[in-house]
Amino acid sequence: MTKQQHFGWFLARGFGPHGWGHPYLDWNYQWTSPDLYQQSARELEQAGFDLLIIEDSPSLGNPSTIDLRVRQAFGGPKHDPLLLAPYLFGATSNLGIVPTVNPAAYLPYTAARQFASLQHLSGNRLGLNVVTDTGSARHFGDAAPLGHDAAYDRAEEWLDGIRKLWRSWPEGALIADPAQGRYADGTKLDAVAHRGEYFAFDGPLNALPFTDGFDGFDGEPTIVSPGGSGRGLGFAGANSDVQLALAPLDVESIRAYRAKIHAAAVERGRNPADISILFAIQPVIVSSAEEADRLVAASANPSDAALLAIAEKQSSDLETDLTALDLDKPLDLTIFGDHVSQGSINRLVGKFDPATTPLRELLGKQARLGRIGKGGFVGTAEELADLIEDLGENADNDGVLLWGDLHPVTVHRILDELVPILRRRGILRTSFGGGGLRANLRDF
């Protein structure tokens, strides 16, 4: 029997100018209006998707690269995805909504209360994509950004503290019985009194406890994490319900990545089956294999103008100006500050030796397209379905995250042909069991 898999959408631009830089901007959707996102979210739910993850980066970057961040709207402007979530909950019934949150930006008590409110209001459909971006430090009162591992230490303390607050109403504290004339028993509440390395706060939390769920705590929001470093994988193993994964989409790589996450979960005393590992794919769906071959061939020798456009985007992601560098000289990795994501650097460099590889080759790798099944993502819907099915059957993959703007044109371009094929093969769900995001992830 074909393995059923979970599907999500990763809104990579965040709550930003959707359509900018693409011809479909002329559809005249307003990116600041919820209508655009509500329409797309309804269609993802209709397609049987479990969750929508919304990227965010609260900072416009360091002063030297702000212009690069905003020139093509790669890094901003953006609105806060947490405030978009209620509009998407109102437009859907089963889809999980997962805004990105940064522990530097939310004090634990405030965060615990806001997240609890959204979880209750949404019928247990809130997820939190916990990131450790440190480039925003100056916006939140920190004199200097934390190092990579220290940022994960802070995130872990932050999440542990939030969970303590969520659980400060133990069993029996909430009575809510009109016959007794009593709503709650305050003597049972936990004062918490957290004093840690990064945060200090007291409880109990002034919010309704989570009483529905499978084991008492399963009513809490679903935790998602994207980290690919050793420390990031350890964080996922200890805390996450969903891992947003980036890896080559072949059976060996998928198995190796899954083994790392599962080992990290076991090390922290968790059941590996409690983490759904979803690999990100940004497909280019075309009508025929011949059209796919034509696109791939056309991308083989990118022009300097094409390379410069990629350098602008990479400069935004890396908060480091690559556009003024000599394309024919190697990339000096010392130009990247400690706050720059190691994963982003690794995605630029790949398997090349940066000490000997010209920048032209690193950027060219980003420009060149590849065929589905041969290390790339260009192909027909049937070919993409073949890849997804193969990863499920032979690598025991949990599912995938399709990557793109949350715009009706993008959603339809990828899903119109793909969804019927996946459903005919039994890979994509046709209905939801109910109970919220975590329950959906445990349906199979």
C-alpha neighbours within 13 Å on the C-beta side of residue 374: 9
**The predicted structure's pLDDT at residue 312:** 87
**The predicted structure's pLDDT at residue 214:** 44
* Tokens linked to 85: 């979530």
pLDDT in tens, 370-395: 999 888 999 999 999 999 999 999 99
Q: Give pairs for 34-37: CB < 8 Å, separation 24+.
A: 34/84, 34/87, 34/88, 34/91, 36/406, 36/407, 36/408, 37/84, 37/87, 37/88, 37/406
Q: Mark residue 361 as left, alpha or beta (left: phi above 0; alpha: psi -120 to 50; beta: remaining).
A: alpha
Closest CA to 255 of 279, 225, 234, 280: 279
Residues 53, 127 contacting (CB under 8 angstroms): yes
In DSSP terms, 403 is beta-bridged to 10
How many whole angstroms separate alpha carbon 157 and alpha carbon 151? 10
* Tokens linked to 149: 């591992």
Q: What angle do CA 111, 133, 75 make, to 5 degrees?
A: 105
How many whole angstroms separate alpha carbon 319 and alpha carbon 298? 30
Strand positions, DSSP E, 153-269: 174-177, 182-184, 194-195, 200-201, 222-225, 242-245
**Residue 420: exposure state from Cβ atoms within 10 A (0-12, 13-18, ≥19):** middle
Query: Where do you find CATH 3.20.20.30 in the chain?
Result: 6-284+380-441
How many whole angstroms separate alpha carbon 234 and alpha carbon 93? 33
Burial 317-352, CB ≥16 within 10 A → b, else e: bbbbbbeebebeebbeeeebeebbbbebbebbeeee
Closest CA to 113 of 153, 162, 156: 162
pLDDT tens, residue order, the chain (444 aa): 799 999 999 998 899 998 888 999 999 999 999 999 999 999 999 999 999 999 998 988 778 778 888 988 988 999 999 999 999 999 999 999 999 999 999 999 999 999 999 999 999 999 999 999 877 878 888 767 788 899 999 999 999 999 999 999 998 999 999 999 999 999 999 999 999 999 999 999 999 999 764 455 679 999 999 988 899 999 999 999 999 998 889 999 999 999 999 999 999 999 999 999 999 999 999 999 999 999 999 999 999 999 998 998 898 888 888 988 999 999 999 888 776 777 788 889 988 998 899 999 999 999 999 999 888 999 999 999 999 999 999 999 999 999 999 999 999 999 999 999 999 999 999 999 999 999 999 999
Q: Kind and range of the H or E element at 356?
A: none
**The predicted structure's pLDDT at residue 346:** 85
**The predicted structure's pLDDT at residue 216:** 55
pTM of the model: 0.93
The amino acid occupying position 273 is A
Question: DSSP string covering 107-140, please?
Answer: -HHHHHHHHHHHHHHTTS-BEEEE----TTGGGG
In DSSP terms, 358 is beta-bridged to 330
pLDDT in tens, 227-267: 888 999 999 999 999 999 988 899 999 999 999 999 999 99
How many whole angstroms separate alpha carbon 141 and alpha carbon 136? 10
Out of 2.102.10.10, 3.40.50.2000, 3.20.20.30, 3.30.830.10, which CATH number does the structure's domain 6-284+380-441 have? 3.20.20.30
